[in-house]
Amino acid sequence: MSERPTALITGASRGIGAAVARALAPTHDLLLGGRGTEALQALAAELPGARPWQAELTDPAALAQATAEIASLDVLVHNAGMAEVGPLEKTSAQVWRDTLELNVVAVAELTRLLLPALRAARGHVVLINSGAGLNANAGWGAYAASKFALRAFGEVLRAEEPELRVTSVHPGRVDTDMQRAIRKTEGGQYEPERYLTPESVADSVLHAVTAPRGAHVHQVVIRPS
């Protein structure tokens, strides 16, 4: 059995999640969460000590089953999420429900189920948040609300679980498939050279996770230079 620490990463099949997996792979065994079976299997084959971990994040019963055999967990990276932008008058109740369910409720429930495993390892919870979790702009109502709530969740978790480290990461726009969809909805040009790379966000996660035990990185704010 490996003596390396273990990290579970949600939304690991692409974008920031896959970049975080590659950043942690040299030092951690990985549980790769996500929906894209082929992409997860390909990434797991690329990274020694990695294996797919598939569960529907918005299904509490599925989550309970998928987490039942995890006795100890060193790092939990909450990266999975959704963004549907638009003015409040066109944001339906279903968009609000779907956004909060995945971006907040699923995070809270997965963390709750894994608290015994995280406590056993004096683990680290990393929340991939957003600039929208610090400042809310027009057209971003449901998404910003979910990210403000995610930031609050992290602050409460940190206060209630002093043996754990909890880090909120707030990147600006990142060159990902999600960003392409957002820019299409906004009607703007897609300019990847003006955005962060997934690897730059992953480097920040790695820095927080590998900081000496006496250093607790509460919040990381990243913007393109």
- Region 109-119: what's the mean pLDDT? 98
Angle formed at CA 68 by CA 103 and CA 73, multiple of 5 degrees: 70
Residues that are catalytic: 143
Burial class from Cβ neighbours inside 10 Å (0-12, 13-18, 19+) for residue 158 reads middle
- Region 123-136: what's the mean pLDDT? 97
Give the 3-state DSSP-derived string for 85-132, with helices as H, strands as E and coil as C: CECHHHCCHHHHHHHHHHHHHHHHHHHHHHHHHHHHHCCEEEEECCHH
Domain spans, the chain: 6-222
Tokens of residue 114, six digits = 């894994």
What's the pLDDT at 2?
63
Answer whether CATH 3.40.50.720 is correct for domain 6-222. yes
pLDDT single digits (tens) 165-216: 999 999 999 988 888 888 988 888 888 889 999 999 999 999 999 999 999 9
The answer to whether residues 199 and 209 touch, using CB atoms and an 8 Å cutoff, is no
Q: Which three-class secondary structure state does DSSP give residue 52?
A: strand
